[in-house]
Amino acid sequence: MSTETTTARSERRSRLSREDLGLLLGLPILCAVVLGAWAIWRATADLDDIESRALAWGNILTLAGEHLLLTVVGALVVVATAVPIGIALTRPGMKRFATPVVGVANAGQAAPVIGVIVLFAMWLSFGFWTAILALSLYSFLPVLRNTIVRLQSVDPTLVEAARGTGMSNATVLRRVELPLAMPVIMTGVRTALVLLVGTAAFGTFISAGGLGALIVVGITLFRSPILISGGLLMAVLALLVDWAGRVLEFLATPKGM
Amino acid sequence: MTQSTSSPSTERGDAVSGVEIVFDDIVKTYAGTSQPAVDHLSLTIPAGEIVMFVGPSGCGKTTSLKMINRLHEPTSGTITIDGEDIRAKNADELRRHVGYVIQGGSLFPHMTVKQNIGLVPGLLGWDKQRTAERVDELLDLVGLKPDRYRDRFPRELSGGQQQRVGVARGLAADPPVILMDEPFGAVDPITRQRLQDELLSIQEELRKTIVCVTHDIDEAVKLGDRILILTEGAKIAQYDTPENVLAAPANTFVEDFVGAGSALKSLSLSRVAEVDLYDQTSVKVGESVADAKQRATSAGHTSVVVLDEQERPVDWLWLRALQGETVREPADERDLITISQQATLNDALDSMLVSTHDGVPVTGAQDRYVGVATFSAVTSLITSKNQQAQETSGDAIAQAPDDADLEHATAAPADTEGS
């Protein structure tokens, strides 16, 4: 009895595994170190006209801001569409549509973003929202699939217990199924975020902005400082977004699980 | 099918808070099957009784249970609770007034004990204060200290504790009817026996109508005021009191199901309350050790049962282990095995197997200490019971030849416990 409660307590303390804790604390430190080193190089390096214009602090901040905006808005669009669709596809009567819809989402992820984004731009128009459409389609699958799979695997006796206490179907979803599914759904969201931050680099091709611009400029003008800075900044941004995803995942996990 | 007319619980005469449930010609056919799972079941479950549904797996007992709170809908026929057709109300509304307890407790892992128990009151719109008070009251009722357990999550509880919370959740809104689906199937035998005892003492107080599905005939005999034995298609093989089911099985199916050892089954019918308890010296926490030792020695005892302020047994110590000025509470939460007076002789023997002394402390109302059931007291009661049974069936002589105890019991049948 007493040993049992001690284990329970130590379990509660170790809700964050050592590995998770390392990632949660280590990643921002790593990013800060890399960014700091890059900033020192930027401040001291001997750059020509084109390089210093492309790597001007204001320009870098604008591009990073655009990149982040593409990522965050893309993620919001994905969550706002994939989660409700995933929920709908696990309700009785809709289950048979789950396989075809996941199939379409699969195709969305299989198609190369660079192609899709350009096709959409030709069809619709250049700019931010077209990029969002292409990016969301690309990162739709992990959130949809995780939502469906986790909701399907909620212990049916728990759902029956919930119905047995007199909860309506909507209440069972809100108070039992979704909280239990939340950690896995958030893992899907983190995957989507990572996909988005990587593919947002293509935004620059259809004038939607983002850090991809640095790479394009670096390649076309043979300026490796610009090219490398672009790659480095994108990598750091991706790591930070992944970190933010982990924090979200942690916060979304209900206590007691 | 035999149906006894006298209710075994009328003599208790307490206020019955349960209500009657009536199945009228219920048929349930699942889509895609030709044989109905429940085939024309008609049944009356009297108010304030525990009715156990037993039968082989697939006999439709669980389906029948779940039709009462409309988790399954009958294909035809009507079920009434307290005279009211259950289809008169919205199913969610109905379920808020029918307690539901399932195997393992099925607690929601992301909710605390308090939130789990407070679910139905919350759905019924009770205010927070009232719900919180009710939660504490129920935790006390199922034997968990509210201060300690209220804010825990299910995974911080043992299996038995989870099941207790599950029972508390079923009782939360004080429903007149409680449905239990194999409630104690997932816990170890000793814990199961305790939970059963607790359920019986809770029921003695509350007098709900409890419908309980089990596959364990011993559990059915122990808990049930009546037992409903079902064959495939939920056809009634027998519906009667445990005594009658054991004494007069209606047909060979029941005979087979109840099992061959009917004499042993009577172990499940006799309660610890019938045993001559031994008055083992007891001492209260806080009493002086010298006094305690003196009392025990003068009674000729080498050990004492330690009671807490509420006179609940918490420890059973050899005198040499009694040290210091005053009797202290056991340091860590030592789990002393005790049994209630409602426990069966079967349970008593089980408990003795794991006891470190020759017997097991017995508790009465509010878990108060009433004495010790010793091994010899229990076995002599069993012997005399068997003797009585054999005498009535007329083959006592054939069985009794060289057993001294039996001879003794035959010689003085008047001394044995009258049940």
| CATH at A238 | 1.10.3720.10
Instruction: Specify the pLDDT at position A180.
Output: 92
CA–CA gap between residue A78 and residue B289 (Å, rounded): 72
Please say if the pLDDT value at position A33 is more than 80.
Answer: yes
Q: Which of A83, A118, A79, A86 is nearest to A101 (CA)?
A: A86
Burial of B253 (0-12, 13-18, 19+ CB in 10 A): middle
Instruction: Specify the pLDDT at position B46.
Output: 93
Instruction: Specify the pLDDT at position B334.
Output: 61
CA–CA gap between residue B376 and residue B388 (Å, rounded): 18
Chain-centre distance for alpha carbon A78 = 9
What's the gap in Å between the CA of A178 and the closest CA on chain B? Answer: 11
Instruction: Specify the pLDDT at position B128.
Output: 92
CA–CA gap between residue B135 and residue B118 (Å, rounded): 6
The token duo for B384 is 């005399």
B100 → closest Cβ in A2, A165, A171: A165
The token duo for B386 is 């068997």
Put residue A21 in one of left, alpha, beta given phi > 0 → left and psi -120 to 50 → alpha. alpha
Instruction: Specify the pLDDT at position B99.
Output: 92
> In this complex, is the C-beta atom of A15 within 8 Å of any C-beta atom belonging to chain B?
no
CA–CA gap between residue A107 and residue B40 (Å, rounded): 52
Please say if the pLDDT value at position A10 is more than 60.
Answer: no
Contact B333 A8 (CB under 8 A): no
> In this complex, is the C-beta atom of A254 within 8 Å of any C-beta atom belonging to chain B?
yes
CA–CA gap between residue B338 and residue B351 (Å, rounded): 8
- What lies within 8 Å, CB to CB, of B233 at 6+ separation is B35, B36, B37, B38, B39, B59, B60
Contact B112 A256 (CB under 8 A): yes
* A69 within 8 A of A132, measured Cβ to Cβ: no
The token duo for B37 is 């799972």
- What lies within 8 Å, CB to CB, of A142 at 6+ separation is A188, A189, A191, A192, A195
Contact A165 B95 (CB under 8 A): yes
Instruction: Specify the pLDDT at position B383.
Output: 80
Chain B partners within 8 Å of A171 (Cβ): 123
* 3-class state of residue B49 by DSSP: coil
Contact B123 A164 (CB under 8 A): no
Positions in chain B short of pLDDT 50: 1-13, 395-419
The token duo for B185 is 């199937």
The token duo for B330 is 């056991």
> In this complex, is the C-beta atom of A158 within 8 Å of any C-beta atom belonging to chain B?
yes
Q: Which of A24, A17, A61, A71 is nearest to A39 (CA)?
A: A61
CA–CA gap between residue B243 and residue B248 (Å, rounded): 8
Chain B partners within 8 Å of A157 (Cβ): 102-103, 106
Q: Which of B31, B22, B54 is nearest to B234 (CA)?
A: B54
The token duo for B407 is 């001879």
Burial of B299 (0-12, 13-18, 19+ CB in 10 A): exposed
CA–CA gap between residue B195 and residue B185 (Å, rounded): 11
Q: How many CB atoms lie within 10 A of CB B149?
A: 19
Chain A partners within 8 Å of B106 (Cβ): 157-158, 160-161
Query: What is the value of ipTM here, to two decimals?
Result: 0.77
* B6 within 8 A of B35, measured Cβ to Cβ: no
CB pairs < 8 Å spanning A and B: 77
B332 → closest Cβ in A2, A160, A176: A2
Instruction: Specify the pLDDT at position B8.
Output: 44
Instruction: Specify the pLDDT at position A172.
Output: 92
CA dihedral B310, B314, B316, B318 (to 10 degrees): -90
> In this complex, is the C-beta atom of B416 within 8 Å of any C-beta atom belonging to chain A?
no
What's the gap in Å between the CA of A104 and the closest CA on chain B? Answer: 32
What's the gap in Å between the CA of B107 and the closest CA on chain A? Answer: 7
Where helices occur in B310-374 by DSSP H, the ranges are: 345-354
CA–CA gap between residue B214 and residue A193 (Å, rounded): 50
Instruction: Specify the pLDDT at position B252.
Output: 87
Question: How many domains does the structure of chain A reveal?
Answer: 1
Residue found under tokens 């010793």: B374
CA–CA gap between residue B56 and residue B229 (Å, rounded): 9
CA–CA gap between residue B364 and residue B370 (Å, rounded): 6
Per DSSP bridges, beta strands B339-340 and B360-363 are: parallel
pLDDT digits (tens, 9 = 90+) for B88-135: 889 999 999 999 999 888 899 999 999 999 999 999 999 999 999 999
A166 → closest Cβ in B92, B102, B153: B92
Average pLDDT over residues A74-101: 89
> In this complex, is the C-beta atom of B147 within 8 Å of any C-beta atom belonging to chain A?
no
- What lies within 8 Å, CB to CB, of B310 at 6+ separation is B366, B367, B368
Is residue A257 included in any domain, yes or no?
no
CATH fold of B13-259 reads Rossmann fold (3.40.50)
* 3-class state of residue B292 by DSSP: helix
* A145 within 8 A of A102, measured Cβ to Cβ: yes
What's the gap in Å between the CA of A5 and the closest CA on chain B? Answer: 7
Q: Which of B222, B175, B218, B179 is nearest to B198 (CA)?
A: B222
pLDDT digits (tens, 9 = 90+) for B214-225: 988 888 888 999
The token duo for B253 is 């199916």
- What is B274-373's CATH number? 3.10.580.10
- What lies within 8 Å, CB to CB, of A60 at 6+ separation is A229, A233
Instruction: Specify the pLDDT at position B14.
Output: 55
Identify the domain containing residue A90 by its residue range: 51-252
A179 → closest Cβ in B93, B102, B110: B110
> In this complex, is the C-beta atom of B331 within 8 Å of any C-beta atom belonging to chain A?
no
Where helices occur in chain A by DSSP H, the ranges are: 2-13, 18-44, 49-54, 57-90, 98-110, 113-123, 128-152, 156-164, 169-172, 178-199, 212-220, 224-252
* pTM metric for this prediction: 0.74
Instruction: Specify the pLDDT at position B333.
Output: 57
- What lies within 8 Å, CB to CB, of B414 at 6+ separation is none
Instruction: Specify the pLDDT at position A214.
Output: 85
Q: Which of B119, B118, B120 is nearest to B96 (CA)?
A: B120
Contact A161 B106 (CB under 8 A): yes
Sign of CA dihedral B241, B246, B252, B257: positive
Contact A12 B106 (CB under 8 A): no
Is residue A200 included in any domain, yes or no?
yes
Q: E-strand spans in B89-232?
A: 98-102, 177-181, 209-213, 226-231
Chain A partners within 8 Å of B154 (Cβ): 256
pLDDT band of A178, cuts 50, 70, 90: very high
- What lies within 8 Å, CB to CB, of A114 at 6+ separation is A202, A205
What DSSP designation does B174 have?
A: -
